[in-house]
Amino acid sequence: DTGVSQDPRHKITKRGQNVTFRCDPISEHNRLYWYRQTLGQGPEFLTYFQNEAQLEKSRLLSDRFSAERPKGSFSTLEIQRTEQGDSAMYLCASSFPAVPAYEQYFGPGTRLTVT
Amino acid sequence: QKEVEQDPGPLSVPEGAIVSLNCTYSNSAFQYFMWYRQYSRKGPELLMYTYSSGNKEDGRFTAQVDKSSKYISLFIRDSQPSDSATYLCAMSRNNDMRFGAGTRLTVKP
């Protein structure tokens, strides 16, 4: 399968713990996006990388959230001191560089539950 | 007011029916208009996109954009049980993409 992969698929954590998610984009896709999707809502943009450079961050990305893409390939999203409001599906998407934003390919998501 | 408004449904139709899904938006700067399909516990997958106003047809699916009314639609003809999913409208300008809340569709055999 050469699609976008995310790990883990599910994560249950206690409030206050730190969690880290990984996204592996489609190879040769140099753009990588993170979104958050809560129940009954559409995905909300969090941040976007072109290669290893983080080019845009949403206001939704509080100081407790940090994303990296150290070698321009896979990316990690870390949430520190998790809160119950962080419970959501975290989606990763990737695309080729010279295409409009709509041509994003989404991974299956990581479902986070904070208890 | 949200930038993109979409009726969450749920919408239930019999197999073979024509389905109409709609979204309205407020930002006239949007250039690309998309429809994504999302099955339960999966990521969204792109169904169709349209640039600016007009119609686009792909098999049983037709997307319409009316920029003057800030209104987009997706029509599904001869709906099948396999079309049961959540349909998300989305619109973008450059790399800025906004999604609707999604409409949950069930097509009953």
C-alpha angle B23-B24-B27 in degrees, rounded to nearest 5: 130
A21: pLDDT confidence band, cut at 50, 70 and 90? Answer: very high
What is the average pLDDT value for chain B, to the nearest integer?
Answer: 93
Check residue A22 and give its pLDDT: 98
Whether omega for the bond prior to residue B14 falls within 30 degrees of 0, making it cis, is no
Q: How far is A89 from chain B (nearest CA, A)?
A: 9
B2: pLDDT confidence band, cut at 50, 70 and 90? Answer: confident
Strands A75-79 and A19-24: antiparallel
Instruction: List CB contacts (< 8 A) between A43 and chain B.
Output: 44, 88, 99
Q: Write the pLDDT tens digit of every residue in B13-40.
A: 999 999 999 999 999 989 899 999 999 8
A98: pLDDT confidence band, cut at 50, 70 and 90? Answer: low
- The span from the CA of B71 to the CA of B73, in Å, is 7
Q: Write the pLDDT tens digit of every residue in A58-72.
A: 888 889 999 999 988
Over residues B53-77, the mean pLDDT reads 94
Sequence-distant (6+) residues with CB within 8 A of A73 are A24, A25
Nearest beta carbon to residue A102 from set B32, B100, B101: B32
What is the average pLDDT value for chain A, to the nearest integer?
Answer: 92
- The span from the CA of B106 to the CA of B92, in Å, is 27
Q: How far is B109 from chain A (nearest CA, A)?
A: 25
Question: B6 at the A interface (CB within 8 A)?
Answer: yes
Check residue B26 and give its pLDDT: 93
Higher-scoring residue by pLDDT: B49, B52 = B49
Q: Distance of alpha carbon A27 from its chain centroid, rounded?
A: 17
Lowest mean pLDDT among A63-67, A84-88, B91-95, B98-102: B91-95
Structure letter (DSSP) for residue B69 = T
Query: Considering only CA atoms, which of B101, B91, B21, B46 is closest in space to residue A39?
Result: B101
Burial class of residue B105, CB neighbours in 10 A (0-12, 13-18, 19+): buried
Check residue A59 and give its pLDDT: 86
